[in-house]
Structure 1
Amino acid sequence: MAGRSIDPFVITLTMTPAVDLTIQVNTLEPGSLHRVPSVRQDPGGKGINVAKALKAFHVPVVATGLLGGERGQWIADQLSKMGISQDFVFLNEETRLNVKITEQDGRLSEFNASSPSVQRAEWQQIEERLSMVNSGHWIALCGRLPEGLDQTGYQKAIVKAKQRGVKTLLDSSGDGFREGIKAGPDLVKPNREELSAWYGKPLVTDEQLVIGANALLAHGVSYVVVSLGKEGVLGVTKDSIYRVTVPNTEAISTVGAGDSLVAGLLLGFYQQYPFAEILRLGAAAGTAAVSTPGTQQPSYEAVKTIALSIEVSTKVNHVDLEPGRN
């Protein structure tokens, strides 16, 4: 089976993949006819985007998750052309189609279809694939769990990974994120809105975000990376707070930028960098991604170049290990 003959540093899990159709228009005007100068189709889904970026960054990776129908086969074929090792579970139902509309001013509108239903037997096949990861390597749990599936799925996967000495990264939202946190993944990457939703109140300032991050640390998380878009990144551990500032970049497409950030973080762990430098690489990867169309991933060379202009400042974290509201 594809992917089982190699020892990946990362296996990415995408339970809700999609074919991403990205349409560029000057201005989106509801109810009007639009002339479309550019249409792009990409294999999509958060974990798949992470796998594409890791491949570009020369990090050994296997992509797994759920695919189905002609769209699912198209995704598998495209990943094969990219040289990405894969080990998907195939469903009878069709993989969804997501439509992303980007405007000249950078505004993004998204239309995401619902994912196919998933049976328990198919989740068990996913668990078998996750068991291939060796101690010290990573499982990246990316995106929402499908509706109808037990929302403790990520939590159970994290518990089993810990028992084998495997590290876990959780980049999700909703109930899957909330339940997954209870198992204490090694790294989580919420954005401001996701962290606020988990914490139960709006977190606007850096100081408020640190309070939310410390509540995550209280659940056993080792690294919290809060993505703040063009405002940069906030990284929090029990010992330190890192504020990362990124250069102004003209955005072609923000789709998948957070997934590139995740890949940049994993690249830093692969290269055994200290956390401050891991954050620098992650921020550089996310920044580089907004300069590419659709979910096309930036090159490793572009990431290294942008990393030179990333600023990372740090201070001691006076951590309050109270779980907060969760």
Structure 2
Amino acid sequence: MIYTVTLNPAIDYFVQVDHFKAGELNHVISDRKMAGGKGINVSRVLQHLGEASECLGFIGGFTGEFIIEKLADEGIDADFVPVDGDTRINVKLKSDTETEINGVAPEITDAQLAALFSKLEKLTDQDILVLSGSRPATLPVTIYKEMMEKVRRSGVKVVADTSGEAFRKAVEAKPFLVKPNHHELGEYYGVTVETFEDVKKYGRKLVEEGIDHVIVSMGGKGAIYIDKDQYLYAPPAKGVLKNSVGAGDSLVAGFLSEYVVSGDFKKAFRKGAATGSATAFSVDLATKEKVDEVLPQITISKI
């Protein structure tokens, strides 16, 4: 089973406004509300691709109820820890430019954190745990590292997709797979990462630090997969960009959807690259039909 952890979920409220003007009355042309958070995105795309998962994390208030209902509507299992405050709302304003306003997370108590950790105790070496996204301010920056240490003895494979100091601490626990983008990889090593050679050099350093598998996304340049034996390149697919939210999460979901079936990392990387592009070319997250449409464009090569 694949378990996804979203410590800081949200309702993503997408608002379309023609020629937004700050300080003035603006009229919304269209809007939509989605269950958001990186782990939740991974679970939603996995479901679209026919692979079951279970969402873990924290949820609260009327906004949390909305998220649980939306996940249930899609047939996704959830076992969140209830918290006292309301799950946040993130506003995604689309106009001449894109503006994001992220809400404040509710406070997480020691007892609530302990309840989440107790859920991790049921995982086994047959499970995959996806840790992704930001953390509430009331949780320590070491939280992902602590969660990995919690499941280490069980042999759980951990995927870590976060950034900043949380990523740095996560690397110390040597997860099975990490997926930084090239900016996050550069931030980790205090350098600028722009070229394929940069990605190969610093991605290899992560492998040498004990990470089994590294995928570095490079936006419009595609993505690179690195392990101890090889470098693989997935070119960008061609299409009209419609959605900049969730492409990285979709890459992770696509990768895992193939890996749990075949165990083939090359095939999994190809599926992941196609799924990330499929989300970028969709209004919502990737569907199986869109992934199948994009997949023929992705030819994996060694570099």
Establish whether TM, by shorter chain, passes 0.5: yes
Contact 2:234–2:273, Cα closer than 8 Å, also in 1: yes
Residue 301 of structure 2 is matched in structure 1 by 313
Distance 2:250 2:227 in 1: 21
How high is the TM-score relative to the length of structure 1?
0.88
Secondary structure, aligned partner of 2:31: strand
Query: Is 1:219 paired with 2:186?
Result: no
C-alpha deviation, 1:218, in angstroms: 2.0
Identity level (%): 33
Write the deviation string for residues 276-319 of structure 1: whole angstroms up to 9, x where unpaired. Answer: 211111111111112222xx32221221221111121113xxxx
Match of 1:115 among 105, 108, 112: 105
Secondary structure, aligned partner of 2:300: strand
AA in 2 matched with 1:59? E
Alignment of 1:237-316 (within 5 A): 237-293=227-283, 296-315=284-303
Task: Report how many residues are paired.
Answer: 303
Secondary structure, aligned partner of 1:140: strand
Write the deviation string for residues 173-228 of structure 1: whole angstroms up to 9, x where unpaired. Answer: 12221111101000001112211111111111111122221221122111111112
Query: Is 1:37 paired with 2:29?
Result: yes
Query: Is 1:148 paired with 2:143?
Result: no
Contact 1:11–1:130, Cα closer than 8 Å, also in 2: no
Distance 2:39 2:203 in 1: 23
Contact 1:230–1:248, Cα closer than 8 Å, also in 2: no
Residue 15 of structure 1 is matched in structure 2 by 7
Query: Is 1:195 paired with 2:185?
Result: yes
Residue 319 of structure 1 is matched in structure 2 by none
Distance 1:178 1:114 in 2: 23
AA in 2 matched with 1:43? A
Query: Is 1:83 paired with 2:49?
Result: no
Contact 2:160–2:178, Cα closer than 8 Å, also in 1: yes
Distance 2:149 2:209 in 1: 13
Change in CA separation of 1:207 and 1:277 when aligned onto 2, cut-off 3 Å: same
Change in CA separation of 1:27 and 1:264 when aligned onto 2, cut-off 3 Å: farther
Write the deviation string for residues 32-68 of structure 1: whole angstroms up to 9, x where unpaired. Answer: 5443321010010100111111111111200011111
Distance 1:200 1:120 in 2: 34
Write the deviation string for residues 249-294 of structure 1: whole angstroms up to 9, x where unpaired. Answer: 112211111111111011121122422211111111111112222x
RMSD: 1.6
Contact 1:246–1:311, Cα closer than 8 Å, also in 2: no
Distance 2:190 2:245 in 1: 26
Distance 1:32 1:260 in 2: 36
Contact 1:264–1:283, Cα closer than 8 Å, also in 2: yes
Query: Is 1:53 paired with 2:45?
Result: yes
Write the deviation string for residues 9-46 of structure 1: whole angstroms up to 9, x where unpaired. Answer: 20000001000001123444444544332101001010
Distance 1:135 1:260 in 2: 24
Query: Is 1:24 paired with 2:12?
Result: no
Residue 61 of structure 2 is matched in structure 1 by 69
Gaps of 5+ in 1: 1-8, 316-326
AA in 1 matched with 2:288? Y
Change in CA separation of 1:299 and 1:147 when aligned onto 2, cut-off 3 Å: same
C-alpha deviation, 1:150, in angstroms: 1.9
Change in CA separation of 1:87 and 1:40 when aligned onto 2, cut-off 3 Å: same
Residue 124 of structure 2 is matched in structure 1 by 134
AA in 1 matched with 2:168? R
Distance 1:115 1:160 in 2: 24
Normalized per residue, which structure has more helix?
A: 2
Gaps of 5+ in 2: none
Residue 174 of structure 2 is matched in structure 1 by 184
Distance 2:81 2:177 in 1: 26
Distance 1:34 1:272 in 2: 51
Match of 2:149 among 156, 159, 163: 159
AA in 1 matched with 2:223? V
Contact 2:237–2:274, Cα closer than 8 Å, also in 1: no
Write the deviation string for residues 218-248 of structure 1: whole angstroms up to 9, x where unpaired. Answer: 2211111111222211111111111110222
* More divergent stretch after superposition (72-81 vs 149-158): 149-158
Which one has more relative contact order, counting CA pairs under 8 Å at least 6 apart? 1
